[in-house]
Structure 1
Amino acid sequence: MDKSTLVFQRHRARLFGIAYRMLGTPGDAEDVLHDAWLRLQAHGLEELEDPEGWLITVTSRLSLDRLRRAKAERERYVGPWLPEPLAPESDQPELVHERDESLRLTFLLLLERLSPDERAAFLLHDVFEYSHGEAAKILGIADEACRQRAHRAKVRLRDGRPRFEIDAAAHSRLLNRFIDAMARPSLETLRALFAEDAVHISDGGGIVRASLHPLCGADRLARLYLQIARHLPPATRYELGTLNGLPAVFWLEQGAVTGAMWIDTDGAQITAIHSLRHPGKLARLGLVVSSRISGSK
């Protein structure tokens, strides 16, 4: 392995962490890293005084450019858009991050409220802990502009943050209750799972059947999942797993992953339920989950 590739691999986890948090999809993050590696190869390692700083700058700017294009595409997206999770239980070094809470899928979805420029400034300063001056240099803007973008981002995010910080055990308990309720569905059992103002968000991307708008209210969600439970194929299974550091549920039909679901909770009930149905976003996830389940038999 040549020296430039060795240097790139040494910093790959941090570079992936920046790109994934910026873009919300592992595939786009991998594309950015590939482009950054090609630029390093073309530029030459010997001309760089600070290879890590150069790679951080290139990755951040490439991610920002790609996010600007993605924002326009997501405005035309069919139905709600959800971030794509990292594949669970992978041995990839990208899963070792500086601050795991910023990888939570709810947080990545919250970042969609920001403009691309705000998102970049916020992530570099508040998540990766660069000073405003350092972040400004990475992004090629004035210090004050970077400070203002990061501040606007924090204001935008403040109201949307989950009201409760709940540990993984509470998520697991509620998801196990959800699995039990779907196995023996009744309106009362399902209704008890949801807070009064609970929200359901489903991402099918216009490819598979999914709600085209967020649904609100415990009664409405209970009726929705009662209908889903009654019409699921008999061979459907539910498996409890982990996505981006928190428990999640995988839906399997004949061994294939057809859905993934994660929640927000106040510790007692589900306050938001996110259902990922998009086949493209499930493809990488499905390979890992299906192989794990097959290997456990």
Structure 2
Amino acid sequence: MPSPTVTEFETHRPYLTAVAHRMLGNRAEAEDAVQEAWLRYARQPAAAIRDARGWLTTVTGRICLDQLNSARVRRTAYPGEWLPAFVVEPDAGPADRAEIADQVGLALLVVLERLTPEQRVAFVLHDAFGVPFDEVAAVLDSTPAAARQHASRARRAVSGAGVRHTAGPAEQRRVLDAFLAAAQDGDMRRLAAILAPDVVAVSDGGGVVRAALRPIHGVEKVTRFFTGLVANRFADVSDLTMEPVLVEGSAAVLIRGDWADGGRLAVVLGVAVDNGLITGLFSQQNPEKLVLGDLE
């Protein structure tokens, strides 16, 4: 009996990759999950699959759920705060930013990392892609009522996360540039004026690079942290550069330089912005989670 064809599968690949990307937060892992779904699909008799898109969504979802559960176990021993891997792309200006509508967005990606695997799968499938709860339940090996509950809890967690983000890339860039200029000038008053009252700063060093081990909350603490960082720690860095980049379609900056001891500094800082104020600052410093591509 013939198996499904590559052509049939390829029509669904972009959709499956988008689903897996939102679930896993890493495009390379998402592509691997979709490739595994293809291998399973190719082993099925063609007559056994009546709804290829539905079958592939279920299989891809289960593969992603397994990966998320494995990652949750690894994170229990992770030193400090966990941020997703930052896949960094050049930001050449407004023309580039017009092509990023299908990106997840850094702020949402950070919030999704806080959900349980079941909540994340249910939220992504149902809220982002409109998959009915009976099909979500098949992915989770649960009942539709349980799948609905997972999605509801995820929705509440996302809406109550405090990291509000409504700004487009141009406003993100403007606010981030103003933040960096104030921090470099050591102007605490100007810096504080850019921050929302409930701002949070999260750094991920992975135990490899020195970073704050816990989130920093509030205008005063965040202001002191970043002005101190520039005045003290970055004072030992030579050839310091700040390059505008994109992470998941969101404005960010790639900070690089050379430490006095011969080491190399590489940090990517992204933001969440709401009503012209920064609600979240996300600093990825773990070299294993910085994917710089052509920027290497």
TM-score, normalised on structure 2? 0.82
Q: What are the superposed Cα offsets for residues 53-96 of structure 1, whole Å, 9 maximum, x if unpaired?
A: 22211110111111111112112211111122344369xxxxx8
Residue matched to 2:107: 106
Superposed, which structure 2 residues align to 1:64-213 within 5 Å?
64-88=65-89, 100=102, 103-160=104-161, 162-163=163-164, 165-213=166-214
Using the TM superposition, give the Cα deviation of residue 215 of structure 1 relative to its aligned residue in structure 2, in angstroms: 1.1
Using the TM superposition, give the Cα deviation of residue 270 of structure 1 relative to its aligned residue in structure 2, in angstroms: 1.9
The 1:45–1:184 alpha-carbon spacing in structure 2 relative to 1, beyond 3 Å, is farther
**Residue number among 263, 268, 293 corresponding to 1:287 in the alignment:** 293
1:244 aligns with 2:248: yes
More off after superposition, 135-144 vs 65-74: 135-144
Checking the alignment, whether the CA contact within 8 Å between 1:170 and 1:267 is kept in structure 2 is no
Q: What are the superposed Cα offsets for residues 247-268 of structure 1, whole Å, 9 maximum, x if unpaired?
A: 11111237x8811111122333
Q: Secondary structure at the match of 1:49?
A: coil
1:258 aligns with 2:258: no
Q: Secondary structure at the match of 2:239?
A: coil
- For the residues of structure 2 that align with 1:24 and 1:71, how far apart are their CA atoms? 13
**RMSD (Å) for aligned C-alpha atoms:** 2.8
Checking the alignment, whether the CA contact within 8 Å between 2:4 and 2:41 is kept in structure 1 is no
Q: Secondary structure at the match of 1:135?
A: helix
Code of the aligned partner of 1:244: E
- For the residues of structure 2 that align with 1:195 and 1:138, how far apart are their CA atoms? 39
Code of the aligned partner of 2:198: D
Residue matched to 1:43: 44
Code of the aligned partner of 2:108: F
Q: What are the superposed Cα offsets for residues 260-292 of structure 1, whole Å, 9 maximum, x if unpaired?
A: 11112233332221101110111x2x12334xx
Code of the aligned partner of 2:240: T
Q: Which has the higher strand share?
A: 2
More off after superposition, 259-268 vs 185-194: 185-194
- For the residues of structure 2 that align with 1:161 and 1:59, how far apart are their CA atoms? 30
Residue matched to 1:293: none
Residue matched to 1:57: 58
Q: Which has the higher helix share?
A: 1
Q: What are the superposed Cα offsets for residues 106-130 of structure 1, whole Å, 9 maximum, x if unpaired?
A: 2122223332222212211111011
Code of the aligned partner of 2:116: S
Percent same amino acid at aligned positions? 33
1:269 aligns with 2:273: no
Checking the alignment, whether the CA contact within 8 Å between 1:16 and 1:33 is kept in structure 2 is yes
The 1:9–1:259 alpha-carbon spacing in structure 2 relative to 1, beyond 3 Å, is farther
Question: Which consecutive unaligned segments of at least 5 residues does structure 2 have?
Answer: 92-98, 259-263
- For the residues of structure 1 that align with 2:140 and 2:169, how far apart are their CA atoms? 35
Q: Secondary structure at the match of 2:238?
A: coil
Checking the alignment, whether the CA contact within 8 Å between 1:210 and 1:277 is kept in structure 2 is yes
More off after superposition, 33-42 vs 119-128: 33-42
Residue matched to 2:286: 278
The 1:222–1:158 alpha-carbon spacing in structure 2 relative to 1, beyond 3 Å, is closer
The 1:45–1:85 alpha-carbon spacing in structure 2 relative to 1, beyond 3 Å, is farther
Count of residue correspondences: 279
Using the TM superposition, give the Cα deviation of residue 163 of structure 1 relative to its aligned residue in structure 2, in angstroms: 4.2
TM-score, normalised on structure 1? 0.82
- For the residues of structure 1 that align with 2:241 and 2:266, how far apart are their CA atoms? 10
Q: Secondary structure at the match of 1:273?
A: strand
